[in-house]
C-alpha cells in the first residue's frame, strides 16, 4: 500500500500526531464515522456492509453442509475469505490487493480460533456426522486504511444478520444422517447470538504517541502496528458498575512491525486498545440491537422513482 | 432510490424469500416477482381489463341457485377442486374462476387433477377464467407472512375473492367461494360473506337431480369401508428404508402366466429380482409401476405356483362376489381372498419338496404410477340399475377397473377408453372414469380403432402441412450430377403378393472374370423427405408403417409410399444403390454406394420369381439374374450360420381378406419359398455393408441396430422343455445354441424342432436401435444374425431408422449435405427411443389385429376339430398352440392335480399321456358370455376333463 507521500508530507503528518493532532482534524483515539447496514445481499445466509470513513467492506455469511466422522469433540470454527476489489485503491490494480486480503483473512481466522467465541455455533452441529460450516466472505470495495478493524466489525455484523434453518436430520445406515428441509421452513428460521464475537482494534504508534483508525496516508507514517482483538463479555445490566478490567478476554495480540516496546509503554498500549475495542463493540452491539428491534423495511429504505417509456 | 424504467403494467416488484434444499445444503432463495395491473379478471364484459380473454366468464346466473340469488362466479378451494374436479365438466356448473396459486399447488401435490383442470380450461367450451392472482396487484399475498401452506392458500383465496368482488362491484357480480365441508364454510365465513358448500349449491339448483345425486355420491365416497389392502408407507420411511437397503425399488412386472404373481427387478443391470405373490402382497401395484418392496421373513418365501391363472377365467366368479361384498360393505373377508388362499397353501408344500423358495417380497409403496388411458370393454353391472361397473382392459396385465358414470347403463358392452383415478385401500379394484366411447363391442371398425389407440399408433390421416410437402404431380426424374444412371441394368423386385410399397430391387450380372456384380437398389426416400419439413417430422413420430390385417398405416403419405418411392416395374425411379463385386463364394471383393436412377424391369412376387428360376427353358436376363442371386444367397446363408446366426421360428399366418367388407375369408400359414431367403440374404448383406460404412464415417453418430445376448436365465424354459424330451440345449454362445437346436430333431415328431425354435424365439431379447456413441463397441453385436455391426437400410418407405441411415450414407458418399440434427446426439438418442417404442407397439398392434381376425374367423365355426401342440404343462392346465390360426390357448384341467396329488408333479401327466410338444386334437369355438367373447378350446384327444380360457400368452 505504498502511496507515494513526499518526505515533507510525512513529516507534517508525524509532527501533527506528536502534538495530538491529525491531518483530518481528529484526535488520536478518534474513529472515523462507522456506518453499518444489514441484509444487503438477500441470497446469502447473512450479510452486512460496513463503512469506516472511506473504507468500504461487504461481508456475507454462507453455510455449507460438511461431513465428519464425529462432531462431538469437533470445534466448529468460522472461516474467513477476504477479497480485494481491484478498484478498492489505485494501487490494487490486478492482483496486488491479494496480499492485503490475505493478511486480513489470517488475522480474522486467528481471532476467531477460540471456543469462547459464539458458543451458539454448537447449534450448527446438526448430527453426529454433519455440521454447518460457517464461512464469511469479505469483499473490500474501497480501501482507505484500517481494513482489519472494519473487517472485524463487518464479520460481526454479518454474523448477527445470519439466518438459517436447521434441517431435519434423517438417520441412515452406519450412524450417517441425511438432511431434509423441515416443514414450515419459514417459521423455523434461527439466528446466532454474536455478543461474544471478537472486535479488533489496530493501534498505531508514532514515537510515544498511540493512535487508532489510521487512514491511508497515516498508514505510511506509522512506526509500529499492533492488532488487539477482544472477546467481549455479554452485557449483564446488574454488573455494569463492576470492575471493567474483568469483562473481556484478549483473543488476538499481534505486532506486525519489527519494533519492540518498553513494558510500561506496552501496558499503556494494550490498555488503550482494549478500551477502544470495548467501546467499539458497545457501539456495534447497540446498532445490532437497533436493527433487531425494528429492521428497516426495504420499501422505506428505497424510495422509488418510476419512468414510463410511453 | 429505485429507478424503474418500464413499458408495461408493472406496479411493483416483490422479493419473496424462501428456503430450499440444494444437494445437502439448505440455502436461502430470493424470488423476484413483478406485480401487474393489466392482468385480466376473466370477465368477458369487463371494461377495466383490456387483455384478450379466451374462455371468459359470462355470468347470467342469478336464477341458477337459490343460495346465490345474484349474478355470481364460483371459486373452489383446494379440497373441493380435488374431489369435484369433474363438476367443472358438467354443464350446470359454469362461470368458475381457477386461482393460479391453487392450481400451482395442485400441480405439485396432485398433478392429475391439475392436468385435468388445465385440459378443461383449454377446452374453451365453458365460461371459465384463470386468475393470475400471484402476479396481480391487489391479489398478491406474500407467502412469507404465513406459517403453513394451508393458511397461505386460505388467505389467498379470500383476498382473490375480495378483489374480484370489489372489481365487479359496479356490474353487480359477486364471486362465491365453494367449499366441500361445513367446517371449511365456517372458516371462510369469518372473512368473506359469500360462501357455500357444493352440496348446498347444487341442491338449491332445484331440478338438477342427477347432478345432486352425483355430488352425494362423491361426498359419500369419503367414508371408507374396511381396508382390503395395507396402507402405503410414508415417503420418509421409504427413503430411510431404501437407504438402509431394507427396501428395494424397481418396476413391477406381472407374470404373463399368472396375474397374481409378479417380480420386481433391481440392482445393477436388474440382476436381482424379488418375487411377489398374491393380491395383498401386490398391494394395488399395476404393471410397470415403480414400486418399493420389502422382503418377507424367510418362512414366508414361496415359489411361483406353476399354475396358469388368467384373469378372464379366474375372475369371472370372483368379480361378482368381490363386487357384491364391496357394495354391501361387508366386514367379512371377501370370498375372493378365501378362494385365493387355498391354491396358495396347497402349492407350497409341493414346492418345498423340490425347489428352493425364491426371495419373496411385498409392495410397501408405489413411487410412480404407470397409469395411462386404457382401451377396453365395459362389462355389465351386477346390479340391474347400478351406475357403476367393471371395465376390462384390452391390456391383460391391467386389473379390472371400477368405473362410475351416471350414464353407465348406456355404455355397457361398448368399447371405451378409461383412465384410472386412484386405488383406495378399501376397494378391490382401482377406480376410474370414462374418457371416450369408441364404439360397439363386436363392431370391426371399433375394434380396429381400439387396437390402434391401445398401441398408441398415429393413425389419423396426414394433415395439410404434411401433404403440402409432397412433390407436384406429374413427377419426372430430373438428372442430378451425383446420380448414376443405372437404367440399363436388368433390375427387378421380388416381394410378397399385393405389396404396393416396394422399397427394394435387385440385379445380378456375371462378369467375365467369374465374379458377380450384385446390386441392391433401395427407394431413395430421402430425396423427397427433406429434413425439418412437416412431413419429416410426422414420419419421425410415426417411425414405422403399421401392418394390420387388410390395412396398412403408412409412415409416409400414399403418393410416396405406393408411387414415387415404390420401385414399380417399368417406371423410372430414384434409388440408393449398393453394388458389390462378389466372388464365387459370395465374399465381398468391393462394395460401392451411390444414388442412382433405375428402371425396374418387373415387380415379381416370390411365387413368380420361384417359377422363373425353376423354368429351365427361360433364358432371359431376369431369370438368369435371379438364378445368380439365388446361387449366391445360399452361400451367404451358409456362411451366416457358420458364424452362429440363429434360425428361429414363429407362427406366421396370413388372412385372405375380403377387400369390400374387410372380413377374413380364409387363413393360411405363410409358405416359405427359397426366393424369400434369397431377398433376405441380400438385404442383410446390404444392411451390414452400410452399417460398416456409416460407422467408419460417423463413429459417434451412426444409427445402428443391436440385438443383445440374452442372459442365461432367459433360456430356462427352452432348456427345461428340451430336457423333458431328452435333448440338450447349450445356450452358452450363439453358435452352440444354433448347433444344439439343429441337433434337437425327433424323427417321430417333426414338429418338435419347430416348437423348440419357437420357444427359443421367446427367450430372445428385443433388438433395438441405438446411437454408436452411447455404447461400447463390444455391445454392438446383433446376436441373432451374428453380425458385429448391423443397421437398417433397406426399407426407408416403412421405417424411419432407414431414413436416418440413408441420410448418413448420402453424406458419407458426398451425395447430400448432412442435416445438423443428425449430429445432435440428444436428438438422435431421443429419436432412437421413439423408434424402438413405435416398433414394439407396431408389432403388438399387428399381432392384436391378427388375433382379432382370428376371432372373426372362429366366430363362424362350430366346434372345429384341429390339430394342436402342447407348449407348456402346468399343474392346473396346459398351454396349446394351434398352428392353423397361430393361436395359443390355455386349457385348464377341471380337477387341479396339485390339490389331490401334490407330491407327484410331472408324473401325473405321464399317466395322462401328455408330453411337451405332443400333438393333440382340440376343438375350437367361440363362446360369448356376459358380453365377453373368448375362444374356447377343448381337448378332444387325449381325454381329460378341462375348461379353456382365452389367452394370448405369447403376445404379452
Give the tens place of pLDDT for each residue, A186-195. Answer: 778 888 999 8
Write phi, then psi, for B316 (nearest 5 degrees): -55, -50
pLDDT over threshold 50, residue B338: no
Q: Does B20 touch chain A (CB under 8 A)?
A: yes
Q: How far apart are CA B218 and CA B818, in angstroms?
A: 58
Q: Does A297 touch chain B (CB under 8 A)?
A: no
pLDDT for A2: 54
State how far residue B151 is from chain A, nearest Cα, in angstroms: 11
The answer to whether A186 contacts B29, with C-beta atoms less than 8 Å apart, is no
The answer to whether B244 contacts A172, with C-beta atoms less than 8 Å apart, is yes
Q: Is the model more confident about B101 or about A176?
A: B101
pLDDT over threshold 90, residue A159: yes
Write out residues 204-263 of B within 8 Å (CB-CB) of A.
Answer: 236, 239-240, 243-245
pLDDT for B225: 54
From chain B, the residues in CB contact with A179 under 8 A are 21, 24-26
**Annotation: CATH topology of B373-441:** OB fold (Dihydrolipoamide Acetyltransferase, E2P) (2.40.50)
From chain A, the residues in CB contact with B20 under 8 A are 181
pLDDT bin (cut points 50, 70, 90) of residue A58 is: very high
State how far residue A40 is from chain B, nearest Cα, in angstroms: 12
From chain B, the residues in CB contact with A64 under 8 A are 25
Q: How far apart are CA B365 and CA B234, in angstroms?
A: 8
Mean of all residue pLDDT scores within chain B: 79
Q: Are strands B431-440 and B401-404 parallel, antiparallel or unpaired?
A: parallel
Q: Are strands B768-771 and B2-6 parallel, antiparallel or unpaired?
A: unpaired
Residue with cell 401386490: B282
Write phi, then psi, for A24 (nearest 5 degrees): -90, 5
Complex ipTM more than 0.90, yes or no: no
The answer to whether B243 contacts A180, with C-beta atoms less than 8 Å apart, is no
Q: Closest-CA residue in chain A for B242?
A: A172
The answer to whether A170 contacts B30, with C-beta atoms less than 8 Å apart, is no
Q: Do residues B77 and B179 touch, judged by C-beta distance below 8 A? A: yes
pLDDT for B330: 35
Sequence-distant (6+) residues with CB within 8 A of B574 are: B477, B483, B523, B524, B527, B595, B596, B597
> Domain of A300?
7-309
Say what percent of chain B tops pLDDT 90.
Answer: 7
pLDDT bin (cut points 50, 70, 90) of residue B258 is: confident
pLDDT over threshold 50, residue B333: no
State how far residue B168 is from chain A, nearest Cα, in angstroms: 28
Please, how many CA atoms are within 13 Å of residue B752, restricted to the half-sphere of its CB? 20
Q: Is the model more confident about B783 or about B339?
A: B783
From chain B, the residues in CB contact with A189 under 8 A are 19
The H-or-E segment that residue A290 falls in is helix A263-293
Q: Does A158 touch chain B (CB under 8 A)?
A: no
Q: Does B170 touch chain A (CB under 8 A)?
A: no
From chain B, the residues in CB contact with A164 under 8 A are 26
Q: Does A35 touch chain B (CB under 8 A)?
A: no
The size of chain B, in residues, is: 956
Q: Is the model more confident about B19 or about B235?
A: B19
Domain ranges (residues) in chain B: 38-219, 235-368, 373-441, 464-703+785-842, 859-948
The answer to whether A186 contacts B19, with C-beta atoms less than 8 Å apart, is yes
Picking from A164, A180, A187, the nearest residue to B21 by CB comes out as A180
Please state the rounded mean pLDDT for residues B390-396: 81
Given the candidates 2.40.50.690, 2.60.40.10, 2.40.50.360, 1.10.490.10, the CATH classification of the domain at B235-368 is 2.40.50.690
pLDDT over threshold 90, residue A139: yes
Q: Closest-CA residue in chain B for A42?
A: B30
State how far residue B12 is from chain A, nearest Cα, in angstroms: 9
From chain B, the residues in CB contact with A165 under 8 A are 19, 26
pLDDT for B480: 76
Q: Do residues B767 and B784 touch, judged by C-beta distance below 8 A? A: yes
pLDDT over threshold 60, residue B328: no
Picking from A65, A173, A309, the nearest residue to B243 by CB comes out as A173
pLDDT in tens, B897-953: 444 444 434 444 555 566 667 777 877 777 766 556 667 777 776 666 555 444 433
The answer to whether B2 contacts A184, with C-beta atoms less than 8 Å apart, is no
Picking from B15, B147, B239, the nearest residue to A187 by CB comes out as B147
Q: How far apart are CA B543 and CA B560, in angstroms?
A: 15
Q: Determine the longest span between alpha carbons in chain B, in angstroms.
A: 103
Picking from A65, A171, A308, the nearest residue to B25 by CB comes out as A65
From chain B, the residues in CB contact with A190 under 8 A are none
Write out residues 26-85 of B within 8 Å (CB-CB) of A.
Answer: 26-30
Residue A132 lies in a domain: yes
Its CATH architecture, for the domain B38-219, is 3-Layer(aba) Sandwich (3.40)
How many pairs of residues across A and B have Cβ atoms under 8 Å apart? 90
Query: What is the pTM for the complete model shown?
Result: 0.58
End-to-end CA distance of chain B: 69
State the CATH number of the domain containing residue A146. Answer: 3.30.230.70
pLDDT bin (cut points 50, 70, 90) of residue A235 is: low
Helix (H, G, I), strand (E, B) or coil at B766: coil
pLDDT for B660: 65
- How many of the other CB atoms lie within 10 Å of CB of B588? 15
Which of B199-208, B318-327, B666-675 shows the lowest per-residue confidence on average (mean pLDDT)? B318-327
Q: Is the model more confident about A230 or about B497?
A: A230
pLDDT for B462: 86
From chain B, the residues in CB contact with A131 under 8 A are none
Q: Is the model more confident about B662 or about B289?
A: B289
Q: Is the model more confident about B885 or about B554?
A: B554
- How many domains are there within chain A? 1
pLDDT for A137: 95
Which of A10-14, A263-267, B488-492, B873-877 shows the lowest per-residue confidence on average (mean pLDDT)? B873-877
Please state the rounded mean pLDDT for residues B549-567: 86
Say what percent of chain A tops pLDDT 90.
Answer: 35
Residue A219 lies in a domain: yes
Q: Closest-CA residue in chain A for B11?
A: A306
Q: Is the model more confident about B171 or about B5?
A: B171
Q: Does B145 touch chain A (CB under 8 A)?
A: no
Q: Which of A175, A306, A309, A310 to mutate to test the interface with B (most CBs of B within 10 A)?
A: A306
pLDDT bin (cut points 50, 70, 90) of residue A197 is: very high
Picking from A64, A167, A305, the nearest residue to B2 by CB comes out as A305
Residue A216 lies in a domain: yes
B955, with CB counted inside 10 A (0-12, 13-18, 19+), is middle
Q: Does A163 touch chain B (CB under 8 A)?
A: yes
Q: How far apart are CA B175 and CA B70, in angstroms?
A: 10
State how far residue B149 is from chain A, nearest Cα, in angstroms: 8
Q: Which of B3, B20, B25, B245 to mutate to test the interface with A (most CBs of A within 10 A)?
A: B25
pLDDT bin (cut points 50, 70, 90) of residue B384 is: low
pLDDT bin (cut points 50, 70, 90) of residue B305 is: low
* Cell triple for B815: 451425395
**Annotation: CATH topology of B859-948:** OB fold (Dihydrolipoamide Acetyltransferase, E2P) (2.40.50)
pLDDT over threshold 90, residue A107: yes
The size of chain A, in residues, is: 310
Q: Does A181 touch chain B (CB under 8 A)?
A: yes
pLDDT over threshold 90, residue A157: yes
- Examine domains B235-368 and B373-441 and report if their fold is the same: yes
Please state the rounded mean pLDDT for residues A32-60: 91
Q: Does A186 touch chain B (CB under 8 A)?
A: yes
Gyration radius (Cα) of chain A, Å:
21
pLDDT for B329: 37
pLDDT in tens, B273-300: 888 888 888 888 888 888 888 888 888 7
Which of B255-259, B356-360, B362-366, B871-875 shows the lowest per-residue confidence on average (mean pLDDT)? B871-875
Measured between alpha carbons, how far is residue B909 from residues B83, B879, B944 in Å? Answer: 55, 13, 10
Measured between alpha carbons, how far is residue B196 from residues A241, B66, B93, B211 in Å? Answer: 66, 11, 14, 17
B446 Rama class: left (phi>0) / alpha (psi -120 to 50) / beta: alpha
- The 3-state secondary structure of B323-381 reads HHHHHCCCCCCCHHHHHHHHHHHHHHHHHHHHCCCECEEEEEEEEECCCCEEEEEECCC
Residue with cell 424365439: B761
pLDDT bin (cut points 50, 70, 90) of residue B785 is: confident
State how far residue B31 is from chain A, nearest Cα, in angstroms: 9
Residue A1 lies in a domain: no
Most confident residue range from A291-300, B9-18, B517-526, B899-908? B517-526
pLDDT over threshold 80, residue B671: no
Residue A2 lies in a domain: no
- How many of the other CB atoms lie within 10 Å of CB of B926? 18
Q: Is the model more confident about A93 or about B779?
A: B779
The answer to whether A172 contacts B243, with C-beta atoms less than 8 Å apart, is yes
The answer to whether A65 contacts B12, with C-beta atoms less than 8 Å apart, is no
Amino acid at each position: 500500500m505504498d502511496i507515494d507521500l513526499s518526505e515533507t508530507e510525512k513529516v507534517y503528518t508525524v509532527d501533527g500526531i506528536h502534538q495530538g493532532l491529525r491531518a483530518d482534524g481528529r484526535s488520536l483515539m478518534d474513529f472515523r464515522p462507522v456506518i453499518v447496514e444489514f441484509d444487503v445481499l438477500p441470497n446469502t445466509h447473512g450479510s452486512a456492509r460496513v463503512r469506516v470513513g472511506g473504507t468500504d467492506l461487504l461481508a456475507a455469511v454462507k453455510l455449507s453442509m460438511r461431513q465428519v466422522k464425529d462432531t462431538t469433540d469437533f470445534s466448529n470454527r468460522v472461516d474467513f475469505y477476504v477479497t480485494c476489489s481491484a478498484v478498492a485503491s489505485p494501487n490494487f490494480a490486478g492482483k496486488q490487493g491479494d496480499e492485503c486480503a490475505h493478511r486480513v483473512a489470517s488475522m480474522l481466522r486467528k481471532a476467531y480460533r477460540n471456543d469462547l467465541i459464539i458458543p451458539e455455533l454448537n447449534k450448527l452441529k446438526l448430527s453426529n456426522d454433519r455440521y454447518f460450516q460457517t464461512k464469511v466472505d469479505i469483499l473490500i470495495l474501497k480501501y482507505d486504511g484500517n481494513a482489519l478493524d472494519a473487517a472485524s466489525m463487518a464479520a460481526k455484523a454479518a454474523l448477527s444478520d445470519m439466518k438459517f434453518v436447521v434441517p431435519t436430520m434423517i438417520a441412515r445406515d452406519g450412524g450417517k444422517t441425511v438432511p431434509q428441509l423441515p416443514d414450515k421452513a419459514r417459521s423455523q428460521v434461527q439466528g446466532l447470538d454474536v455478543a461474544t464475537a471478537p472486535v479488533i482494534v489496530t493501534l498505531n504508534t508514532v514515537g510515544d504517541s498511540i493512535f487508532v483508525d489510521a487512514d491511508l496516508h497515516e498508514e505510511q507514517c506509522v512506526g509500529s502496528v499492533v492488532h488487539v482483538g477482544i472477546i467481549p463479555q455479554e452485557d449483564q445490566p446488574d454488573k455494569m458498575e463492576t470492575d471493567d478490567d474483568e469483562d473481556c478476554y484478549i483473543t488476538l495480540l499481534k505486532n506486525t512491525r519489527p519494533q519492540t516496546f518498553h513494558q510500561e509503554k506496552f501496558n499503556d498500549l494494550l490498555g488503550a486498545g482494549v478500551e477502544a475495542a470495548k467501546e467499539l463493540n458497545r457501539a456495534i452491539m447497540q446498532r445490532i440491537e437497533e436493527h433487531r428491534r425494528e429492521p428497516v423495511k426495504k420499501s422505506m429504505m428505497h424510495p422509488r422513482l418510476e419512468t414510463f417509456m410511453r | 432510490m429505485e429507478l424503474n424504467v418500464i413499458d408495461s403494467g408493472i406496479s411493483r416488484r416483490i422479493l419473496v424469500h424462501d428456503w430450499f434444499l440444494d444437494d445437502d445444503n439448505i440455502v436461502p432463495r430470493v424470488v423476484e416477482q413483478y406485480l401487474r395491473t393489466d392482468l385480466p379478471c376473466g370477465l368477458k364484459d369487463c371494461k377495466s381489463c383490456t387483455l384478450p380473454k379466451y374462455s371468459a366468464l359470462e355470468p347470467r346466473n342469478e336464477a341458477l341457485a337459490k343460495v346465490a340469488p345474484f349474478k355470481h362466479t364460483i371459486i373452489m378451494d383446494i379440497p373441493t377442486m380435488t374431489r369435484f374436479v369433474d363438476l367443472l365438466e358438467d354443464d350446470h356448473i359454469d362461470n368458475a374462476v381457477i386461482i393460479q396459486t391453487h392450481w400451482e399447488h395442485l400441480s405439485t401435490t396432485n398433478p392429475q387433477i391439475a392436468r385435468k383442470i388445465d385440459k378443461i380450461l383449454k377446452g374453451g367450451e365453458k365460461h371459465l377464467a384463470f386468475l393470475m392472482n400471484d402476479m396481480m396487484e391487489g391479489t398478491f399475498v406474500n407467502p412469507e407472512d404465513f406459517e403453513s401452506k394451508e393458511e397461505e392458500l386460505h388467505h389467498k383465496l379470500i383476498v382473490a375473492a375480495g378483489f374480484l368482488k370489489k372489481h365487479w362491484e359496479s356490474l353487480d357480480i359477486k364471486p362465491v367461494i365453494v367449499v366441500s365441508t361445513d367446517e371449511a364454510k365456517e372458516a371462510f365465513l369469518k372473512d368473506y360473506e359469500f360462501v357455500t358448500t357444493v352440496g348446498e349449491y347444487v341442491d338449491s339448483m332445484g331440478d338438477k337431480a342427477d347432478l345432486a345425486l352425483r355430488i352425494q355420491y362423491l361426498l359419500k365416497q369419503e367414508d371408507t369401508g374396511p381396508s382390503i389392502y395395507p396402507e402405503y408407507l410414508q415417503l420418509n420411511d421409504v427413503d430411510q428404508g431404501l437407504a438402509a437397503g431394507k427396501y428395494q425399488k424397481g418396476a413391477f412386472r406381472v407374470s404373463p402366466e399368472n396375474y397374481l404373481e409378479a417380480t420386481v427387478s433391481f440392482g445393477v443391470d436388474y440382476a436381482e429380482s424379488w418375487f411377489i405373490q398374491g393380491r395383498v402382497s401386490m398391494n394395488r401395484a399395476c404393471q410397470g409401476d415403480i414400486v418399493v418392496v420389502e422382503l418377507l421373513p424367510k418362512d414366508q418365501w414361496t415359489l411361483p405356483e406353476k399354475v396358469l391363472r388368467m384373469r378372464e377365467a379366474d375372475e369371472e366368479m370372483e368379480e361378482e362376489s368381490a363386487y357384491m361384498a364391496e357394495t354391501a360393505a361387508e366386514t367379512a373377508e371377501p370370498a375372493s381372498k378365501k378362494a385365493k388362499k387355498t391354491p396358495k397353501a396347497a402349492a407350497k408344500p409341493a414346492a418345498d419338496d423340490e425347489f428352493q423358495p425364491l426371495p419373496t417380497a411385498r409392495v410397501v409403496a408405489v413411487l410412480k404410477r404407470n397409469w395411462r388411458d386404457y382401451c377396453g370393454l365395459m362389462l355389465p353391472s351386477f346390479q340391474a340399475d347400478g351406475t357403476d361397473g367393471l371395465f376390462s382392459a384390452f391390456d391383460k396385465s391391467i386389473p379390472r377397473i371400477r368405473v362410475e358414470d351416471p350414464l353407465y347403463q348406456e355404455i355397457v358392452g361398448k368399447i371405451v377408453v378409461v383412465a384410472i383415478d386412484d386405488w383406495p385401500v378399501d376397494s378391490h379394484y382401482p377406480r376410474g372414469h370414462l374418457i371416450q366411447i369408441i364404439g360397439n363391442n363386436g363392431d370391426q371398425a371399433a375394434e380396429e380403432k381400439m387396437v390402434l389407440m391401445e398401441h398408441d399408433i398415429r393413425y389419423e390421416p396426414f394433415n395439410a402441412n404434411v401433404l403440402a410437402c409432397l412433390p407436384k404431380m406429374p413427377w419426372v426424374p430430373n438428372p442430378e450430377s451425383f446420380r448414376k444412371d443405372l437404367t440399363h441394368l436388368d433390375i427387378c423386385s421380388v416381394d410378397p403378393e399385393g405389396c404396393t410399397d416396394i422399397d427394394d430391387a435387385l440385379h445380378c450380372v456375371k462378369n467375365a472374370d467369374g465374379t458377380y456384380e450384385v446390386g441392391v437398389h433401395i427407394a431413395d426416400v430421402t430425396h423427397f423427405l427433406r429434413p425439418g419439413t412437416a412431413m419429416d417430422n410426422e414420419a419421425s413420430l410415426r417411425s414405422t408403417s403399421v401392418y394390420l390385417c387388410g390395412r396398412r398405416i403408412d409412415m409416409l403419405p400414399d403418393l410416396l409410399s405406393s408411387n414415387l418411392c415404390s420401385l414399380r416395374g417399368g417406371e423410372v425411379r430414384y434409388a440408393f444403390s449398393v453394388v458389390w463385386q462378389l466372388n464365387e463364394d459370395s465374399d465381398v471383393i468391393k462394395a460401392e454406394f451411390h444414388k442412382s436412377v433405375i428402371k425396374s424391369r418387373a415387380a415379381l412376387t416370390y411365387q413368380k420369381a420361384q417359377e422363373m428360376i425353376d423354368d429351365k427353358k427361360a433364358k432371359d436376363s431376369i431369370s438368369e439374374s435371379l438364378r445368380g442371386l439365388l446361387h449366391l444367397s445360399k452361400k451367404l446363408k451358409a456362411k451366416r450360420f457358420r458364424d452362429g446366426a440363429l434360425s428361429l421360428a414363429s407362427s406366421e399366418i396370413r388372412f385372405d381378406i375380403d377387400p369390400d367388407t374387410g372380413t377374413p375369408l380364409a387363413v393360411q400359414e405363410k409358405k416359405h419359398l427359397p426366393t424369400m431367403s434369397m431377398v433376405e440374404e441380400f438385404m442383410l448383406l446390404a444392411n451390414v455393408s452400410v452399417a460398416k460404412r456409416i460407422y467408419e464415417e460417423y463413429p459417434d453418430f451412426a444409427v445402428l441396430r443391436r440385438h443383445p445376448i440374452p442372459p442365461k436365465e432367459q433360456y430356462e424354459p427352452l432348456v427345461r422343455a428340451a430336457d423333458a424330451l431328452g435333448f440338450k440345449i447349450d445356450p452358452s454362445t450363439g453358435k452352440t445354441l444354433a448347433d444344439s437346436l439343429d441337433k434337437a430333431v425327433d424323427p417321430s415328431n417333426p414338429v418338435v424342432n419347430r416348437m423348440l425354435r419357437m420357444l427359443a424365439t421367446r427367450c430372445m431379447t428385443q433388438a433395438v436401435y441405438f446411437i454408436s456413441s452411447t455404447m461400447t463397441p463390444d455391445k454392438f453385436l446383433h446376436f441373432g444374425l451374428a453380425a458385429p455391426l448391423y443397421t437398417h437400410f433397406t426399407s426407408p418407405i416403412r421405417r424411419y431408422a432407414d431414413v436416418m441411415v440413408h441420410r448418413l450414407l448420402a453424406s458419407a458418399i458426398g451425395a447430400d449435405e448432412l442435416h445438423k440434427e443428425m449430429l445432435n446426439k440428444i436428438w438422435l438418442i431421443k429419436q432412437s427411443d421413439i423408434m424402438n417404442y413405435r416398433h414394439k407397439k407396431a408389432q403388438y398392434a399387428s399381432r392384436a389385429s391378427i388375433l382379432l381376425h382370428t376371432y372373426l374367423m372362429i366366430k363362424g365355426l362350430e366346434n372345429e376339430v384341429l390339430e394342436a401342440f402342447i407348449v407348456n404343462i402346468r399343474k392346473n392346465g396346459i398351454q396349446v398352440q394351434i398352428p392353423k390360426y397361430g393361436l395359443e390357448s390355455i386349457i385348464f384341467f377341471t380337477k387341479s392335480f396339485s390339490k389331490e396329488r401334490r407330491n407327484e408333479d410331472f408324473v401325473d401327466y405321464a399317466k395322462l399321456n401328455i408330453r411337451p410338444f405332443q400333438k393333440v386334437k382340440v376343438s375350437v369355438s367361440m363362446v360369448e358370455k356376459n358380453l365377453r367373447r373368448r375362444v374356447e378350446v377343448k381337448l378332444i384327444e387325449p381325454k381329460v376333463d378341462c375348461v379353456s380360457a382365452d389367452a394370448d400368452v405369447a403376445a404379452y
